[in-house]
Structures are given as C-alpha cells and as structure tokens.
C-alpha cells in the first residue's frame, strides 16, 4: 500500500437526527482502520452537531471536523460535492456511509486495489437488494443501484476511494458532480 491508512480521510454524510443511531457503526470503522474521518452534516439540527462534536472530541484526533454542508436536508451527492469543493485532504477523496459496520480491518485491501492502477475503488452490491439495475425511466441513480439499463457501471455510492486528480479532471471536463443525475447531465456527459 503506497499511502498510509492515516492518509485516508473518509467523509461521512450525516442527515437529520440519525447520528445517535449510527455512531456505533462509525466507531467500528474507526476501530478497524487508522483512517481519519469527517462528519458532513446535511440538514442536521444543532443538537446533532453537538453530538458529532462530542464524538469527534473523544476520537483522539481521528475525526478531523464536523463540516456543515447545508442546514436543510439536501441530496447526499450535493453534500459530497460541497466537501470536494471546500477541502483538499491530499491524493485521495473518500466517503463511506454512516451505516456500514466494519467487522475487521478493511482499508488495506481497498488501498491495494487502488495501487493496482485504478482511479477509483467503490463498494460492491448492497446486501439488501437483489436488483442493482436502475429501473427504466428512473430520473437518477438510487442508492441501491449501480448499473444502467444498458449495462453501464456507475460507482457504488456506499464506500468510495477516488484518486483526487482524475476525479477533479472528470468533474471539470464533464461539468458533473456527485449530485449530478438524470436530467442534470448534458448530452455529452
């Protein structure tokens, strides 16, 4: 693995008032890696921000920030776009859902896959669904889907590590972001 685990900063989007229920999953991600984390508050009320700050204070510097992307709940991708535009954590840009339980060490395997020449590594099929193809006529990409009707592979939105430079090149070249979907895309994109 070229990068140290501590070089990875995973952005975790927290929505509304769910943090008390999801913090145990985040604790498992902390326990089984040396990565760092950022809470991205998307429409979280002040009491939730306080809980995130308290969690961060108890995490020995591993939760580096509570970043408020929006005071009203916005699309998950918009929160990720806000962080991508506002923060530079180095060679990689990462995110992970707050409801993923880490049962053991996980980061080295994904980092090694990234080292094999990939520009991105994303999670596999969700275990809660058997159909990972976007339904005909759907206006975007729902979280449980990552194949288009024509077989095009989208990155899975639950866990992702991107090399920052190719990601920014793609965003700039095609005028897209993580919130882009369906009718938001130009014909060229």
Q: Which residues of 127-156 are buried (b: 16+ CB within 10 A; e: fewer)?
A: eeeeebebeeeeeebeebbbeeeeeeeeeb
- 157 contacts: CB under 8 Å, gap ≥ 6: 76, 77, 97, 122, 141, 143, 146, 178
Task: Provide the pLDDT for residue 23.
Answer: 96
Alpha carbon of residue 29 to chain centroid:
13
User: Is position 152 within any domain?
Assistant: no
Full-model pTM? 0.86
Q: What is the pLDDT of residue 123?
A: 74
Q: Is residue 93 part of a domain?
A: yes
Q: Is residue 179 part of a domain?
A: no
| 82-86, 92-96, 136-140, 178-182: the lowest-pLDDT one | 136-140
Res. 141: pLDDT tops 80: no
Per-residue pLDDT at 31 exceeds 90:
yes
Answer whether residue 145 shows pLDDT above 80.
Answer: no
Report pLDDT for 63: 98
Look at residue 1 and tell me whether its pLDDT is greater than 70.
no
Instruction: Provide the number of structural domains found in the chain.
Output: 1
Q: In this structure, is residue 63 part of a structural domain?
A: yes
* Tokens 């699309």 found at: 75
Backbone angles phi, psi at 91, to 5 degrees: -65, -25
| DSSP codes joined into one string, 57-83 | HTTTT-EEEEEEEESS---HHHHHHHH
Structural domain harbouring 38: 5-103
End-to-end CA distance of the chain: 33
Domain membership of residue 182 (yes or no) is: no
Categorize the per-residue pLDDT at 143 as very low, low, confident or very high, splitting at 50, 70 and 90.
low
In a domain, 11, yes or no: yes
Residue 125: which of 150, 108, 147 has the closest Cα? Answer: 147
User: Within a domain: residue 35?
Assistant: yes
Asked if the structure places residue 80 within a domain, the reply is yes
Can you tell me which residue has the tokens 């991508």?
84
> Which CATH number characterizes residue 84's domain?
3.90.550.10
């Amino acid at each position: 693995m070229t990068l140290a685990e501590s070089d990875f900063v995973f952005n975790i989007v927290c929505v509304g008032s769910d943090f008390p229920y999801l913090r145990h999953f985040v604790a498992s991600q902390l326990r089984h890696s040396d990565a760092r984390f950022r809470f991205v508050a998307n429409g979280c009320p002040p009491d939730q921000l306080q809980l995130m700050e308290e969690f961060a204070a108890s995490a020995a510097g591993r939760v580096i920030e509570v970043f408020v992307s929006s005071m009203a709940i916005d699309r998950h991708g918009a929160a990720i776009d806000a962080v991508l535009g506002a923060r530079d954590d180095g060679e990689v840009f990462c995110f992970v859902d707050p409801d993923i339980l880490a049962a053991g060490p996980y980061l080295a395997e994904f980092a090694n896959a990234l080292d094999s020449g990939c520009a991105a590594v994303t999670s596999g099929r969700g275990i809660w669904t058997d159909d990972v193809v976007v339904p005909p006529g759907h206006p975007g990409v729902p979280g449980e889907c990552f194949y288009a009707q024509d077989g095009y592979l989208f990155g899975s939105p639950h866990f992702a590590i991107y090399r920052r430079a190719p990601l920014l090149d793609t965003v700039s070249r095609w005028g897209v972001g993580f919130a882009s979907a369906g009718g938001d895309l130009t014909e060229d994109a």
